[in-house]
Amino acid sequence: MTADGNPKLLDFGIAKLLNPEPGRGGLTIASRRLGSPSAMAPEQILGLPVDGRTDVYAMGVLIYFLLSGQLPFGGDSPTDVERMHLETPPPRVSEVIPISRKIDEVILCCLEKRPERRFASVTELLNAFAAAVAADAPAGASQSGTGRPAVVVWVELRMKGIAEGEEIADELFSEMATALDSADQTLREAGFEIALQTSSGILAGKILDGDAARSKKVALTARETATRVHDNLLAQLQHEKRLHLNVALHIDQAVVREAGDHQAIVEGAVFEVGSWAPQEDFDGLFVTAAANNKLA
């Protein structure tokens, strides 16, 4: 909360109690920085005053990720990532996927190091982005996407044994980030597209074609990959008793956006994780009925 009582968004992956019980602290205390290195603006990293332009920077990171499937800055440690936010010129999304110059420029404006060079507000950013899409859509790109079946893997890390209002240690967030980075790498190496990533989970998918035999083969390979991700992370987190690992395999409809040779899962029933993934802690790989039917 700001001094005048208004809420302020600091990060897209962290939640905290706005009104903790008396005597209980939240995630934020005086002079403490809140945020994850992947989406923090330079002024936030340096502990300088923040305003709406700090949110614009975080929105730029989010838009970059949604379009490209990867973060603009990545390193071997949080310190490396913070240094890149402070010093490294932001990359162009067009270096990763075919996209228009105008959209490139909007994202680069969001990721300016100096707040005064960014959009003055999120509203100004959204207006500029809408204008860029309308005026200069990338050639050959599908505007609405097409419906296709897809096999998806959902990897989720659940915190447990943490009391309400208890401050969560930074090393636990670091442990989760390291584990999800490992899952991300395994899934990408197996040919999966990362469709969604949060601070506690990853949704990755492969598009299936109309041939039943080929689709079954892809689904079987996906199950093997999901099992490998589960086993690797379980071994990696065996010392961490505050986390439970859930990994689920599902097949459902997805909306696929195409640009040249690149295909990306952008929406559809596969994103409704709450309707098909286990809601309780589950041991081993969870395979939905829809996926089992394809594997049979």
Q: What is the pLDDT of residue 163?
A: 65
pLDDT band at 16; cut points 50, 70, 90: very low
Mean pLDDT value across residues 203-217: 90
Please enumerate in sequence order all residues whose Cβ is within 8 A of that of 254, keeping only pairs 6 or more positions apart, or say none.
147, 148, 149, 150, 152, 195, 205, 207, 265, 267, 268, 269, 270, 271
Q: What is the pLDDT of residue 43?
A: 93
Contact 141, 98 (CB under 8 A): yes
Q: For domain 37-135, which CATH number applies: 3.40.390.10, 1.10.510.10, 3.40.50.300, 3.30.390.50?
A: 1.10.510.10
The helix/strand/coil state of 196 is: strand
Q: Give the CATH superfamily of 146-295.
A: Nucleotide cyclase, GGDEF domain (3.30.70.1230)
Of 93, 75, 91, nearest in space to 83 by CA: 75
CA 264 to chain centre: 14
Domain map (residue ranges) of the chain: 37-135, 146-295
pLDDT band at 57; cut points 50, 70, 90: very high
Contact 110, 137 (CB under 8 A): no
Topology alike, domains 37-135 and 146-295: no
If you ran DSSP here, which 8-state letter would residue 168 be given?
P
Of the chain, the percentage scoring pLDDT greater than 90 comes to 42
Mean pLDDT value across residues 249-273: 82
Cα separations in angstroms, 278 against 2, 156, 250, 273: 38, 10, 11, 9
What is the residue-averaged pLDDT of the chain?
A: 81
Q: Which residue has the higher pLDDT, 144 or 246?
A: 246
Give this prediction's pTM: 0.55
